């Protein structure tokens, strides 16, 4: 792993820009898909098929006046959106995009992803508190309660993956899923319960419907970003979409084989020249993107299908259903690892 720093910097630059662009594409995708689900065309005026609509929106946000409430704590008020965006943009550094193409691999990358997820609640809490408004404060409170509740189950789901792979490094977890031929080595088949719990908690951690109580517009106006305008609001918007995209990346990487092609051992056996070639790397990156697109679509699909949970339902699901299930799952996986894989 002696990649020169300048190459890493170029990859990191590419990844950040890729994330920024895909956030716009996701906005377009969400509006278009939700439009079709509600039997209306969605954005279709700006550019071919309305494709340039999100870019137009970004320009609009940039030129809008930035208003801060007079009683807001101004420094924290400005810091909150920056925290959100920075944390959302940091997670992709830990994701391997193809074999050997990863920015950070220091042996504890899974933990770093978990830590970043749990720290990202500060953006919401700070925004909620510093705005000095009831709606924002309630949104921030809800968000921190929700994140604390679902973080535990998410951590336990990740623990089951770590147990199977025997490593805290994302790269090794992906490579571990290459065993078992074809696609049966993927963690979703070895650890289906963990995968289900992780997907549900990922929805909750990204504050996406049906877990979007922090910004339930009927009760809280805009939730924690009620008092934000202009590009600061834009940054919250961006962070939300990047978080959602990154969550899809993490789901695909931890549970669906990451960059591994389906039937990769068979393909490599049929075309031995492919091993270690650039073409294989490109195919792997494409595979990862396809998997991620599916989960990104799943996020939209769920959002426009399921109604929002009530607050008590949210807490019941988190503490009385997901947490015990996750604990039992960890115990089962640990027993399997000790008894059959030792």
* Residues contributing to the site for another protein (CB under 8 A): 73, 76, 106-108, 111-112, 114-115, 117-119, 121-122, 125-126, 128-129, 137, 140-141, 144-145, 147-148, 151, 168
Q: Please give the Cα distance from 322 to 148 (Å, whole number).
A: 13
H helices within the chain, ranges in order? 5-37, 53-63, 74-90, 109-119, 121-130, 134-165, 170-176, 187-190, 192-205, 217-220, 230-255, 264-270, 278-303, 311-316, 323-340
Assigned token pair, 253: 């990487």
Q: CA angle at residue 235 from 80 to 297, to 5 degrees?
A: 120
- What's the min distance (Å) between Cβ of 65 and another protein? 27
Choice between 82 and 141, CB closer to another protein: 141
Q: Please give the Cα distance from 342 to 326 (Å, whole number).
A: 22
Q: How far is CA 236 from CA 17, 209, 222, 313, in A?
A: 17, 16, 11, 26
- What's the min distance (Å) between Cβ of 127 and another protein? 12
- What's the min distance (Å) between Cβ of 129 and another protein? 5
Residue 73 contacts residue 125 (beta carbons within 8 Å) = no
Paired with 101 in beta bridges are 98
- What's the min distance (Å) between Cβ of 148 and another protein? 6
Choice between 61 and 147, CB closer to another protein: 147
Closest to 95 (Cα-Cα) out of 185, 30, 16, 194: 16
Choice between 56 and 168, CB closer to another protein: 168
Choice between 106 and 305, CB closer to another protein: 106
- What's the min distance (Å) between Cβ of 72 and another protein? 13
Choice between 125 and 284, CB closer to another protein: 125
- What's the min distance (Å) between Cβ of 93 and another protein? 13
Residue 307 contacts residue 137 (beta carbons within 8 Å) = no
- What's the min distance (Å) between Cβ of 117 and another protein? 8
Choice between 144 and 293, CB closer to another protein: 144
What are the contacts of 45-52 at 24+ separation with CB within 8 A?
none
Assigned token pair, 255: 């549970």
Assigned token pair, 61: 């946000």
- What's the min distance (Å) between Cβ of 179 and another protein? 20
Q: CA angle at residue 259 from 241 to 161, to 5 degrees?
A: 85
Half-sphere exposure of 121 (CA within 13 A, CB side): 20
Choice between 117 and 253, CB closer to another protein: 117
Q: Please give the Cα distance from 154 to 198 (Å, whole number).
A: 5
Closest to 105 (Cα-Cα) out of 3, 19, 13: 3
Choice between 73 and 229, CB closer to another protein: 73
Choice between 140 and 257, CB closer to another protein: 140
- What's the min distance (Å) between Cβ of 108 and another protein? 5
């Amino acid at each position: 792993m002696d990649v020169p720093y300048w190459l890493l910097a170029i990859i990191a630059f590419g990844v950040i820009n890729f994330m920024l662009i895909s956030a716009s594409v996701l906005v377009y995708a969400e509006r278009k898909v939700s439009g079709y689900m509600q039997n209306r065309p969605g954005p279709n005026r700006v550019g071919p098929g309305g494709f340039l609509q999100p870019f137009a929106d970004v320009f609009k946000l940039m030129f809008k006046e930035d208003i801060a409430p007079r009683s807001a704590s101004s420094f924290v008020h400005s810091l909150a959106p920056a925290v959100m965006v920075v944390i959302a943009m940091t997670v992709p550094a830990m994701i391997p995009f193809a074999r050997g193409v990863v920015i950070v691999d220091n042996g504890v990358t899974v933990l770093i992803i978990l830590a970043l997820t749990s720290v990202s609640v500060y953006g919401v809490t700070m925004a909620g508190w510093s705005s000095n408004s009831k709606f924002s404060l309630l949104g921030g409170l809800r968000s921190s309660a929700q994140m604390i509740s679902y973080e535990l189950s998410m951590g336990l789901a990740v623990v089951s993956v770590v147990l199977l792979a025997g490593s805290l490094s994302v790269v090794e977890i992906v490579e571990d899923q290459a065993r078992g031929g074809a696609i049966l080595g993927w963690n979703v088949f070895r650890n289906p319960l963990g995968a289900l719990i992780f997907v549900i908690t990922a929805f909750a951690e990204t504050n996406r419907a049906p877990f979007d109580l922090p910004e339930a517009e009927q009760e809280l106006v805009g939730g924690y970003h009620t008092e934000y305008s202009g590009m600061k609001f834009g940054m919250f918007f961006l962070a939300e979409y990047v978080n959602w995209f990154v969550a899809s990346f993490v789901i695909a990487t931890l549970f669906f084989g990451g960059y591994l092609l389906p039937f990769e051992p068979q393909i490599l056996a049929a075309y031995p020249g492919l091993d270690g070639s650039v073409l294989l790397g490109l195919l792997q990156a494409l595979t990862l993107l396809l998997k991620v697109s599916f989960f990104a679509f799943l996020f939209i699909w769920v959002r426009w299908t399921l109604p929002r949970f009530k607050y008590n339902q949210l807490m019941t699901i988190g503490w009385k259903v997901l947490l015990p299930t996750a604990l039992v799952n960890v115990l089962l996986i640990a027993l399997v690892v000790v008894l059959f894989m030792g």
